Structure 1
Amino acid sequence: MQTFNHLITTRPHEVRQVFISDLHLSAEEPALVQAFLALLDDCLALPALKRLFILGDWFEVWIGDDAYLTLSAAARQTHWLTPLIVKLKQLRVAGCEILVMHGNRDFLLGQPFCNLFGGELIDEPYSLAVGQQHYRLEHGDALCIDDKKYQFFRKIMRHRLTQWYLLNKSLTKRLKIADKMRDRSQRSNANKATYIMDVNDTAVQTALTNNDALLHGHTHRPHVHQATKDKKRYVLGDWRLLDEEMRQPKVSAVIGTAIEDYDGTEFGLVEFQALV
């Protein structure tokens, strides 16, 4: 895996698409927010960038678009989300599509919020042509079928009636529900075997049917796997704060890039780092 301090320092005129996941942004982690803004600055400097994909868990928790949309104009001015929206809108105006997928933390994210910056909420799995190959994009939690309790929970929470029920609760009640679910998840995961929380090989093989490659996040285990003799599975990394005690902490993440030049299109994972 290559290491790049900034995306724009390597073949900037050839980067066509950027793929990220598992940022887990929140007001409680301002360093991650600043790192995301730094990535957007890099994206704005890429002259041929066509698409930015955010493949789930963009936010640590999302209790509904109305948590932001119902804010007054004055409240929005100081809200931590506003700089992100402004920068994303600049990127969209510059000609880059912004495609957002649900994760297990932000499945209540809606198109109304994405409309603020001209983004598009996409379903998973999402099929994408990268050169001559067909890539399957998804968050990754649906591939962890050995975790049967989580898959049952996922099925319930992704049901439209469950989401309708949640979104009709007050914001205060939704926040309490989200906190309880997060605490329960952390306690449950602490007692699970490592393999249970990773993808299942059979699920991967099924996902690769009629596809040349699979790209996902969720597991926080970035790597390039040779899934079959001629098919690969790319795993994006979560965004992590490094050297927290240093004067200028660093955030690191493994992201995906599709680069196009005279020889064709090349996909790969790179390390993005930002001093915050």
Structure 2
Amino acid sequence: MTTLFISDLHLDESRPEITHLFLAFLREEARSAEALYILGDLFEAWLGDDDRSPLTDAVRQALRALVTAGVPVSFLRGNRDFLVGTDFAAETGVTLLPDPCVMVLYGEPTLVMHGDLLCTDDLAYQAFRKQVRDPAWQETFLAQPLPARQAFAAQARAASQQRQAGLIAANTLEAITDVNAAAVEDTMQRFGVTRLIHGHTHRPAIHALTAGGHRAHRVVLGDWYEQGSVLRVSSDGYALTAL
């Protein structure tokens, strides 16, 4: 049996081919998996469980079908869909995980994260993250009418794009938006693990490192902008491949 990990699909109406690829993945390969873990940014944006569309309804139905077929699905919120809530979980049958979360994977303690917490050099983003992850802020935001939430999201997206353009012009985007090596080692040592799986950075790779004086590995999941990316883990090892 194999456990599957994916992240950063950024499902959006503007890229229907990726939605079709994901729905086929749920119908086909995922049906024979031991479990599926989605480590954030399944959606390009999520403004509350009441924000429905044909795309999100199709995803809801496909996830429910997979869970009903006997495959447990766990969901860890990302920086784009941190407002996924209990209504979505109840409707789909997925289990919402905290970020970070330690699981025992075929006998090995493994830390799973979305990955944005590791990007500690991006001070502006970390300040924004702290604000929008505050329960009081979320309660106030979700109490607003959906059009107001949509307007806020559009404004935040425009500001983010402008900031990225500035980082590109200054040739600092790659360094600031990647993980901080010391933060990775400190986090793995704090949780007592030698294997970390995360997404967010869109830089798929398997990195060897040292954490707490022990040999360790950091697996970075790929995004689904142009193709799928899946980590398959079994008792025999793991492989990160494109679909």
TM-score (norm 2): 0.91
1:235 alignment counterpart: 220
Q: CA RMSD in A?
A: 1.4
Matched, 1:58 2:60: no
Which structure has greater helix proportion? Answer: 2
1:200 alignment counterpart: 180
Q: Which moved more, 1:109-118 or 1:167-176?
A: 109-118
Counting only pairs closer than 5 Å after superposition, residues 170-185 of structure 1 correspond to structure 2 as: 170-185=145-160
Q: Once the two structures are aligned, what percentage of the paired residues are identical?
A: 36
Matched, 1:222 2:204: yes
1:10 alignment counterpart: none
Counting only pairs closer than 5 Å after superposition, residues 44-123 of structure 1 correspond to structure 2 as: 44-46=30-32, 49-68=33-52, 79-123=54-98
- By how many angstroms is 1:131 displaced? 2.0
Larger radius of gyration: 1
Please give the alpha-carbon distance, in whole angstroms, between the structure 2 residues aligned to 1:60 and 1:30.
Answer: 12
Unpaired runs of 5+ residues, structure 2, are none
TM-score (norm 1): 0.81
2:239 alignment counterpart: 268
Is the contact between residue 207 and residue 214 of structure 1 (CA under 8 Å) also seen in structure 2? no
Q: 1:53-75 CA distances to partner (integer Å, 9 max, x unpaired)?
A: 1100010000000123xxxxxxx
Amino acid at match of 1:204: V
Please give the alpha-carbon distance, in whole angstroms, between the structure 2 residues aligned to 1:253 and 1:233.
Answer: 20
- By how many angstroms is 1:102 displaced? 0.9
- By how many angstroms is 1:147 displaced? 0.6
- By how many angstroms is 1:258 displaced? 1.2
Q: How many residues align?
A: 233
Is the contact between residue 44 and residue 94 of structure 1 (CA under 8 Å) also seen in structure 2? no
Please give the alpha-carbon distance, in whole angstroms, between the structure 2 residues aligned to 1:188 and 1:31.
Answer: 29
Counting only pairs closer than 5 Å after superposition, residues 15-26 of structure 1 correspond to structure 2 as: 15=2, 17-26=3-12
Q: Which moved more, 1:220-229 or 1:209-218?
A: 220-229
- By how many angstroms is 1:43 displaced? 3.1
- By how many angstroms is 1:45 displaced? 4.2
Please give the alpha-carbon distance, in whole angstroms, between the structure 2 residues aligned to 1:191 and 1:136.
Answer: 33
Please give the alpha-carbon distance, in whole angstroms, between the structure 2 residues aligned to 1:220 and 1:214.
Answer: 15
